[in-house]
Amino acid sequence: MKHTSSNRNIVFLSTSLPRECGIATFTQDLLDEFSKLEGWNKPKILAMNNNESYRYSDQVMREISQNTLSDYIDAAEAINHSDTDLLVIQHEFGIYGGESGEYLLDFIEKLHVPYVAIFHTVLTNPTPKQHQIITRIAELSVKVVTMAQSTVQDLISVYHINAAKIAFIHHGVPYVETASRAELKVQYSFGERKILSTFGFLSPGKGIEYAIEAMSSVVKQHPDALYIIWGKTHPVVKLETGEVYREKLTDLVHELGLTNNVLFVDKLLTQEEVIESLVMSDIYMTPYLGKDQAVSGTLAYGIGYGRVIVSTPYRYAEEMLGEGRGLLANFRDSASLEACILELLDDPGKVKDMENRTLALGRTMMWSEVAKTYAAIFQDKIALFKLADRSVI
């Protein structure tokens, strides 16, 4: 990478498309926005690899094999000798090697370039090793970012990170121009049916079985209701257990006689298909089972497009669905989900009001806005680092 005039160079340490990973999608969306901003050269990626081979684009400057410690050391040295102004580390447990991803510590210990860490998961009850990793990443960083207000306090109280070092920035949402809800329903051959939906990688923690059970009662009052589950099985789940979870769900659909009211779309969705699935939805659902989930990209997308949302009360949902932006059902409780769904389907006025409230927040979460916030932080930290560097005698 070479400087173009005074433009800055940033590099992301992350998984990268075409690897099927939410972190890779997040990084790509942020990278794409930075490519449009003045003052920045097109960002590059240090790509974290698992045991698969991927056909990366030229935006990937180097690859790191997750379980090869020497790759981390070599990559740090390469960054140190490049013209990188700032590194952005996407942190998620599971994408780095060693116990709880501890190889990342070897990388940052060797690094001379300033870095910002984006924490995609903030555990309230970490193991000692997980605690050590998060605190050390934060200690050596110039800034840490979290995507939920609720986790700011956790970073302070659980991990003892200085509040001044923490930034809260919403999970970004891509803007895609689509047809209207009614037009999309016709386009997808759903007519005027009431559409409920969930999208994302399928895995047992999503709690889809409870939503399906809820539909068995919903359709007695709204026989035209259709629940669509968009997305393929999570690659890690498929590798470990195959399609056991999906088969369990499809068996449940047949057992409850819901073949006309529950539809599975088993494919990796394009960004356009994701947004179209949301726009055509009358209700978006995240019946997840994990109460400590601090961030959900799929819920963020639902908020971004002003959908009415029914969710279980995991941490991110409680935060994002406040002030009348959705309804919360009990965990593992199909009757509670059913009551929320019927409350909305029976009251179009309430739905419209919720959509307006949700969209007001959603507009602030578009990547075009979120990227500007990141850019301001990055620019500030680059300037401070260079000033400090010049001050050393």
Domain boundaries, the chain: 10-172+366-391, 181-365
Q: Does residue 313 have a cis bond before it (omega within 30 degrees)?
A: no
Which tokens hold the place of 370?
A: 């979120």
Claim: this prediction has a pTM higher than 0.75: yes
Do domains 10-172+366-391 and 181-365 share one topology? The answer is yes
**What CATH number has the domain spanning 181-365?**
3.40.50.2000
- Fold of domain 10-172+366-391: Rossmann fold (3.40.50)
Using the 8-state DSSP alphabet, how is residue 173 labeled? B
Name all contacts of 185-192 with Cβ < 8 Å and 24+ positions apart: 185/280, 188/276, 188/280, 190/226, 190/280, 192/224
Closest CA to 174 of 269, 108, 314: 269
Taking the chain (393 residues) in runs of 10, the rounded mean pLDDT of each run is 70 97 95 95 97 94 98 98 97 96 98 97 95 98 96 97 98 96 97 97 96 98 98 92 97 98 95 96 97 91 97 96 96 98 97 97 96 97 81 45
Q: CA 288, CA 333: separation in Å to the nearest integer?
A: 11
Q: How many CB atoms lie within 10 A of CB 262?
A: 24
pLDDT 10s digits, 220-262: 999 999 999 999 999 989 999 999 999 999 999 999 999 999 9
